[in-house]
Structure 1
Amino acid sequence: MKLNGSDIFVECLKEQGVDTVFGFPGGAVLNIYDALYKARDEIRHVLTSHEQGAAHAADGYARATGKTGVCIATSGPGATNLVTGIATAYMDSVPMVAFTGQVATPLLGKDSFQEVDITGITMPITKHNFIVKDVTKLADTIRRAFAIACEGRPGPVLVDICKDVSAAFAEFESKPPKKPRSAPSGVSEKDIEQAAEAINNSKQPIILSGGGVSIAGASQEVLELSGKAGIPVATTLMGLGSFPGTHELFTGLVGMHGSRTSNMAVSEADLFIAIGARFSDRVISNVKKFAPNAEIMHIDIDPAEIGKNIVVRYPLTGNIKKILKALNAKVKKRDYSAWNKKIDEWKVSYPLKYIKDEVLRPHYIVERIYELTKGESIITTEVGQNQLWAAQFYKYTAPRQFISSGGLGTMGYGLGACIGAQMGRPDKKVINIAGDGSFRMNCTEIATAVEYKLPIIIAILNNGVLGMVRQWQDLFYEKRYSATSIDRGTDFVALAEAFGAKGIRVTKPDEVDAALTEALASEDTPVLIDFQIDKDDKVFPIVPPGAPIYELID
């Protein structure tokens, strides 16, 4: 049958099973939005307040559901407003397809109104991108974009569609989506046997479980390996939930804000098993002194990550789930050992702790959120101290439960991601733990949450400063607080109510439970809680820049 480009666009989304898209219209995508209007009973379009909010919402939707997120923007500033969200998804391996409108093909390269080279701009932050100048190539380009986004190591793909393409006609034949190509395996039977032998012979092994474990659906295999061989497990920030935070073998985060137990275990281990992690600088800190006594085993889908930041003795490249299944079959069962005893003693001696007094502490707030939700909520965060307190004091027991910008560290990420996660998982209560600095960057997305009657909770840990930057100024810059005070008198409760949400202010510890209970009871209205905390509360432990991870400040 013959369809115009906009109808082909919609039909291709249906082929891919897309039921929700996030976006903001404009001139170059008017034809596409007209087609979306006609298909409104089949595809839900979520109108955000800003294109960056659309990108973060598509990202949060993808992380919460495991599906590919979709966002749309017009040409020029609409497209460039997606860039931060695309880069965020790229750094954290999130499957997303971003569609942008472009000027008509005769106007390309002429500095036309709202023309930018968005494919050139996004080339370094996408797995691949396309510009479509021929309507006959539109359908196959969209199909390819979805395939690329979710195969292998996932990531964002951008499709730029010229306006005349969206209006032109072409023959269209519906096709079922292709199964993603499996990642090529660089692992032989001999590799598996050598890796299993290394695990069986190790006396003090430790596992680092990263975000790739959740992406691969390999949490059960990591749990089996850990339990069978009695190996303690630490996680990266992105790996939270990939191994149960309540498990007896869990040691906490590792790296700059890792637990003392995790960092000491890594530093004394004789075998370090990294699974679905990329050895970022926030994990290894001083590379020459990272895991100094250990041989390194690295299991990852992306061969480019093997040996990139640290020397690896046992590289295992390919599908993590398949590799772990093969490895588990050859690993020997191990009883509680002297190493396990030492780890348990460290956990008792060096727990995460904070001052418990009459002051409203962020650590306490996160603990109460955990208790009152019974650990079952999806938590999104902004970036900074709020992110780390949420990581440390909420126990994540399942993949896709902790949603945060890890690699890029994007302030303003959490609210959009919270909206996307709630729309993708309406069966869960989704809570955005935010700092006041990050929150105000994209606070207009409250209007989106109100319009779509989303019962999200926005828990602002409001200290009136850019908390993490101020913490570094305090610890490492002799208390020169340059441009970090943002106590501008903004009334976040009044702001929430101006948008049509519910606002609650909390200033004392004994007000926390009542506020959270009220917020958790909301079924169709966003609730913002302004928790007013002290500006000098800090995230501990912290490894000073350039120091080995065993030299922590508590």
Structure 2
Amino acid sequence: MNTAQVLVELLKAYKVQHIFGVPGDTTMHFYDALYAARDDIQHIMARDERSAAFMADTYARLSHRPGITEAPSGGGATYVIPGIAEANGSSVPMIVFTSDVPVVDEGKGTLTAIDQARLLEAATKWRGVVKRPSMLPDIVRRAFRAATTGRGGVAHIVLPEDVLGEELPSPALHAEEACTVYPAYRTQAPRVALEAILDALLKASRPLIIAGGGAVLSGAWDEITALAERLHIPVATTINGKGSINEMHPWSVGVIGGNGARPYANQLMAEADCIFYLGSKVNSLTTLKGTVPAPTATVLQLNVDPLELGNNVPATVAACGDIKESLAALLELISQRSISAPQRSVTPEKLEELAAPFWEAVARNATRPDVPVVPQRIIETLWQHTPEDVVVVADPGTMTPFTASQFRTRRPGRSVVIPRAHGGLGYALPATVGAYYARPGERIVGLVGDGSFGMSGTELATIGMLKLPITLIHFNNGSFGWIKMLQHLYYGQRYLSVDFTGKMDAATVAEGFGVRGIRITHPDQLVDAITEGLASNEPVFIDVHTRSELDEVPPVHAWQQALSQR
């Protein structure tokens, strides 16, 4: 076997079933090997390497297996960076393969040559270059180990073209079973730290759990739910933490922070006398730019990455360990000590009372007849007509805060995907492809901004070619609305290069790519369009003209504060 064939055999050993990528001159050996293995591994061709990486990112988030993406030398290696940067910044396990010019051509100014390992260094967790065929098996195993252990991330393997074609006799084809999924090789926080955390939670009168993206990556939703029930503690999440608890659960309070928070959730956070952060970076959005927790509050932190402990907020008790593994041990401590649920000042009935004004406002917005359509009506209509097993992938911008606050998950585990590491536009449309292959038995919905559509709309060709049963809802407000809102609030309404003044018929564009296009001109058409899309066995693109952020301010804490002070 040549090196490319050995690589494919190793991928099969790691139970890889899907690879997302774009072909190029230097990947021909790899593609030929994939062709021979096409019954075992499906290669999904994207129209752009960035899109392929977004597909692999979402695939990994929803499947709990490392996402696999590949790109050729030159432009391919440069184009893939936004997608892998988002995955790495969100601690999502991914393997990226970039083929390269032959080793013998290094330093000769060969077309497409660039130092790929150095180029991708800032966007990856680990890197390896296969200089000789014999190096490949060990490098592949290290890559999977690096991506899936500790704080997950992207592992990058550089594959020179000539090495891919060379023979590799008697290769070691074994795989580490533990690293076929993530997190691999879980660690448990020290018992003494868990005992201190338990004591602090029992002592508090108004504790709050805040679960971040690390809690979902760990798969800790059952343990978080059990902890909330056993100790009567409300559970809030960050946007990436959505899914840490079923949001219909009586102890769930939804998203907190500076973007997409429910007001009563932020109120609970401000009033908490003890906050237990699980797998959260505790960044400026989570702390409302450092205004919470209260100075007198007890801060507890559990994270798999020790560098995050006390990094942004001093921790009263900090513990390093896998969230699921460590919370299971904490629950065992509760059982061993025969602890009964303490009396709290906040009960499920109190939470329901606090939430009532917010949901009353949601209900009012869901019937508003405004044209253009208000985004809140789209989100609520979607929620009312989707099944429990729907997966929603949303772009940055308008979709993020409204989806985060309004779209309640009906089950634990990840079912809402929003890119929060870098917030790059153009994410949702290609990402729905990865979502489909990760969860082929579930309904996939993409919430696409018009700014994002301009960047990745050509992936409609991929969706149309594959005839994937994906429903795409296009929020068409004719601008880079988020940036325009910043110019409106903070720069004297001096609008520059934020409006899409030309005419674009997005539904017709979708039709041109073989996707059914529906144009919404009145909010009363939403229900029929959404139900048609969800019932279809083929892709449907719904173009909705929506009110912009200037007219319909989303739940962004800083914006609402700025407007209240005018």
The answer, yes or no, to whether TM exceeds 0.5 is yes
| CA-CA distance at 1:366 after TM superposition | 1.1
Pick aligned residue for 1:266 from 265, 269, 273? 269
| Residue in structure 2 matched with residue 160 of structure 1 by the alignment | 158
Structure 2 residue identity aligned to 1:334: A
Instruction: Give the unaligned 5+ runs of structure 1.
Output: none
| Residue in structure 2 matched with residue 15 of structure 1 by the alignment | 13
Deviates more, 1:264-273 or 1:290-299: 290-299
Matched, 1:323 2:337: no
Instruction: Give the unaligned 5+ runs of structure 2.
Output: none
| Residue in structure 2 matched with residue 500 of structure 1 by the alignment | 514
| Cα RMSD, aligned residues only | 2.1
| Residue in structure 1 matched with residue 422 of structure 2 by the alignment | 408
Runs of 4+ in 1 over 6 A off after TM superposition: 545-548, 551-554
Mapping of residues 220-231 of structure 1, within 5 Å: 220-231=222-233
Instruction: Give secondary structure in 2 for the equivalent of 1:433.
Output: strand
Instruction: Give secondary structure in 1 for the equivalent of 2:530.
Output: helix
| CA-CA distance at 1:346 after TM superposition | 2.5
| CA-CA distance at 1:350 after TM superposition | 4.4
Using the alignment, how far apart are the partners of 1:435 and 1:364 within structure 2?
16
| Residue in structure 2 matched with residue 314 of structure 1 by the alignment | 317
Using the alignment, how far apart are the partners of 1:438 and 1:553 within structure 2?
32
Pick aligned residue for 1:362 from 372, 375, 382? 375
CA shift in 2, pair 1:546/1:279, >3 Å: farther
Structure 2 residue identity aligned to 1:223: T
| CA-CA distance at 1:468 after TM superposition | 1.6
Using the alignment, how far apart are the partners of 1:500 and 1:413 within structure 2?
20
Using the alignment, how far apart are the partners of 1:195 and 1:421 within structure 2?
36
8 Å contact 2:270–2:293 — kept in the other structure? yes
| Residue in structure 1 matched with residue 463 of structure 2 by the alignment | 449
Identity, % of aligned positions: 31
Matched, 1:102 2:100: yes
Structure 1 residue identity aligned to 2:42: R
| CA-CA distance at 1:534 after TM superposition | 1.7
Using the alignment, how far apart are the partners of 1:12 and 1:419 within structure 2?
24
Deviates more, 1:36-45 or 1:216-225: 36-45
Using the alignment, how far apart are the partners of 1:405 and 1:29 within structure 2?
29
CA shift in 2, pair 1:288/1:504, >3 Å: closer
8 Å contact 1:285–1:546 — kept in the other structure? no
Pick aligned residue for 2:190 from 188, 191, 194? 188
Using the alignment, how far apart are the partners of 2:56 and 2:194 within structure 1?
37
CA shift in 2, pair 1:55/1:515, >3 Å: same
| CA-CA distance at 1:60 after TM superposition | 1.2
8 Å contact 1:543–1:552 — kept in the other structure? no
Instruction: Give secondary structure in 2 for the equivalent of 1:170.
Output: coil
8 Å contact 1:265–1:343 — kept in the other structure? no
Structure 2 residue identity aligned to 1:154: G
| Residue in structure 2 matched with residue 346 of structure 1 by the alignment | 354
Mapping of residues 55-66 of structure 1, within 5 Å: 55-66=53-64
Structure 1 residue identity aligned to 2:368: D
Pick aligned residue for 1:43 from 29, 41, 44? 41
8 Å contact 1:127–1:156 — kept in the other structure? yes
8 Å contact 2:234–2:252 — kept in the other structure? yes
Pick aligned residue for 1:382 from 374, 380, 395? 395
Structure 2 residue identity aligned to 1:294: A
8 Å contact 1:199–1:271 — kept in the other structure? yes
Deviations 1:95-135 (A, max 9, x none): 11000001101111332100111110111221101111111
| Residue in structure 1 matched with residue 540 of structure 2 by the alignment | 527
CA shift in 2, pair 1:290/1:433, >3 Å: same
| Residue in structure 1 matched with residue 341 of structure 2 by the alignment | 334
Using the alignment, how far apart are the partners of 1:541 and 1:292 within structure 2?
25
CA shift in 2, pair 1:70/1:364, >3 Å: same
Matched, 1:249 2:260: no
Number of equivalent positions: 548
| CA-CA distance at 1:542 after TM superposition | 2.5
8 Å contact 2:398–2:554 — kept in the other structure? no
Pick aligned residue for 1:436 from 430, 447, 450? 450
Deviations 1:251-275 (A, max 9, x none): 2211113221111111111100011
TM-score of the aligned structures, taking structure 1 as reference length: 0.95
Using the alignment, how far apart are the partners of 1:348 and 1:292 within structure 2?
29
Instruction: Give secondary structure in 1 for the equivalent of 2:510.
Output: helix
Using the alignment, how far apart are the partners of 1:287 and 1:388 within structure 2?
20
| Residue in structure 1 matched with residue 405 of structure 2 by the alignment | 392
CA shift in 2, pair 1:197/1:481, >3 Å: same
| CA-CA distance at 1:64 after TM superposition | 1.4
Instruction: Give secondary structure in 2 for the equivalent of 1:282.
Output: coil
| Residue in structure 2 matched with residue 295 of structure 1 by the alignment | 298
| Residue in structure 1 matched with residue 240 of structure 2 by the alignment | 238
Instruction: Give secondary structure in 2 for the equivalent of 1:315.
Output: strand
Deviates more, 1:259-268 or 1:92-101: 259-268
Deviations 1:257-311 (A, max 9, x none): 3221111111111100011111122111332554333111011111111111111
8 Å contact 1:506–1:532 — kept in the other structure? yes
Using the alignment, how far apart are the partners of 1:473 and 1:460 within structure 2?
23
Pick aligned residue for 1:197 from 196, 199, 208? 199
